[in-house]
Amino acid sequence: MAGNSFGQAFRITTGGEAHGPGNLVIIDGCPAGLPLCEDDLAADLARRRPGQSRIVTQRDEPDTPEILSGVFEGRTTGTSIAILIRNRDQRSHDYAAIKDKYRPGHADYSFDAKYGFRDYRGGGRSSARETTVRVAAGAVAKKLIAAAFGGRVLGYVRQVGRVEASIPDPAGVTPEQVERLPNGDPNIVRCPDPAKAKAMVALIEQMRKQGNSIGGLAEFVASGVPPGLGEPVFDKLKADLAKGLFSLPAVLGVEYGIGFGCALLRGTDNNDLFYAEQSGGRSRVATRTNRHGGMLGGISTGMPIVLRAAVKPTSSLPLEQETVTSGGEPTTVSTKGRHDPCLLPRFVPMGEAMIALVLADHWLRQAGARTDT
């Protein structure tokens, strides 16, 4: 009922708040024998970490994961995996002055409307702090899908404000292009188009100086996914992927393949034509184009799965904005805490995690789908 769990066969349950002692995830359904240690979680947690560059929040969290159960001698045991990440750098006093004010764009009012009481420190359970443990669970799911079928999920920033990257072949983008610029410097905005990455960083820095924030679009590609994953009706792969991405904070839109662009097309322009692709002496069905984004009937086709998420500009702003108190009195509010002027660079590993979790879940569910394999 309370919606703290996600997935069926590969299922995560999270607990924790922004300013509590920490965040915890329990992963159920991970098969035994998968090599796993804390270091396997470190790379994605570092990509999500606050304080990683000058264009993100300067909250200083080491985000060191502790695996509490489910791993023995470096391999999963098949029992529940519990991972804890402690909060270290809370500054709860930043929030005391605004505890009765409804911050625009935040969940303060809607939480009060639901519960009549809330942890006002940093958004409580609605905060993106909760996603630390999802990213840790996603790293486990990434290992599982890589071992099971060579699956890989990669995200990057496609657009910040009006600065849009040119990415002609999403499936051809490499992790190195996302994380490093051609000169070897860190690609702090995670956009694989280096000229546009520079323009995005300049725009985000301008927003920070103005006490403002900016939205954008992240794009994700899941490659190596075999055809046949997904259920035909309510648990369509596209529906579960959309739920996974929409469950992340600040997401206002999700599309896959040609997405909203399909509204402009005729059937002849939209259909992706099938052909038999020969590779390594074997034949497989493929499509010449990928407007369908790797899923038909909510079931994977074997083509790369391509999704985009629209992420809103950060709501917390140092500028004064009009609002009301919980008693309905008109007032103004400004947020003094440490915030990202653009959420996109840190959103990338969160989206990848949710996509990997969905793919791991549907791969395990597929094992019971037919009798002839």
Contact pick of 123, 124, 216, 341 for ligand FMN (by CB under 6 A):
123
Residue 189 in the binding site for ligand FMN (CB under 6 A)? no
- 314 to 333: interface string for ligand FMN, x by CB under 6 A: xxx-----------------
* Distance between CA atoms of residues 238 and 230, nearest Å: 8
Choose one: 86-94, 111-119, 218-226, 345-353; the region binding ligand FMN (CB under 6 A).
345-353
Cα Rg of the chain, angstroms: 21
Least distance in angstroms from the C-beta of 80 to ligand FMN: 27
Residue 160 in the binding site for ligand FMN (CB under 6 A)? no
Element housing 65 (H / E): strand 65-69
Residue 83 in the binding site for ligand FMN (CB under 6 A)? no
Question: Rounded to whole angstroms, what are the CA distances from 108 to 99, 125, 214, 318?
Answer: 9, 11, 21, 17
Choose one: 90-98, 197-205, 227-235, 308-316; the region binding ligand FMN (CB under 6 A).
308-316
Residue 362 in the binding site for ligand FMN (CB under 6 A)? no
Q: Of 71 and 85, which CB lies nearer to ligand FMN in the complex structure?
A: 85
Residue 214 in the binding site for ligand FMN (CB under 6 A)? no
CA angle centred on 197, ends 194 and 199, rounded to 5°: 115
* Distance between CA atoms of residues 16 and 102, nearest Å: 22
Q: Of 111 and 363, which CB lies nearer to ligand FMN in the complex structure?
A: 111
Least distance in angstroms from the C-beta of 190 to ligand FMN: 12
Question: How many residues form the binding site for ligand FMN (CB under 6 A)?
Answer: 21
Choose one: 31-39, 168-176, 289-297, 311-319; the region binding ligand FMN (CB under 6 A).
311-319
Contact assessment for residue 69 and residue 81, using Cβ atoms and an 8 Å cutoff: yes
Contact assessment for residue 321 and residue 334, using Cβ atoms and an 8 Å cutoff: yes
Binders of ligand FMN among 247-266, rule CB under 6 A? 248-250
Residue 244 in the binding site for ligand FMN (CB under 6 A)? no
Binders of ligand FMN among 125-144, rule CB under 6 A? 126-128
Residue 309 in the binding site for ligand FMN (CB under 6 A)? no
Contact pick of 98, 107, 145, 148 for ligand FMN (by CB under 6 A):
107
CA angle centred on 200, ends 198 and 201, rounded to 5°: 65
Residues contacting 132, CB < 8 A, separation 6+: 23, 45, 48, 61, 63, 85
Q: Of 13 and 127, which CB lies nearer to ligand FMN in the complex structure?
A: 127
* Distance between CA atoms of residues 288 and 291, nearest Å: 10
Residue 192 in the binding site for ligand FMN (CB under 6 A)? no
Residue 108 in the binding site for ligand FMN (CB under 6 A)? no
Choose one: 60-68, 144-152, 230-238, 242-250; the region binding ligand FMN (CB under 6 A).
242-250
End-to-end Cα, the chain, rounded Å = 36
Choose one: 214-222, 245-253, 294-302, 318-326; the region binding ligand FMN (CB under 6 A).
245-253
Residues contacting 33, CB < 8 A, separation 6+: 75, 76, 78
DSSP string, 278-324: EETTEEEEEESS-TTTTEETTEE-SSPEEEEEEEPPPS--SS-EEEE
Residue 90 in the binding site for ligand FMN (CB under 6 A)? no
Residue 98 in the binding site for ligand FMN (CB under 6 A)? no
Residue 340 in the binding site for ligand FMN (CB under 6 A)? yes
- Break the chain down into helix, strand, coil percent, rounded to 5: 30, 25, 45
Contact assessment for residue 201 and residue 214, using Cβ atoms and an 8 Å cutoff: no
Give the binding site for ligand FMN (CB under 6 A).
Answer: 57, 105-107, 123, 126-128, 248-250, 312, 314-316, 339-340, 343, 346-347, 350
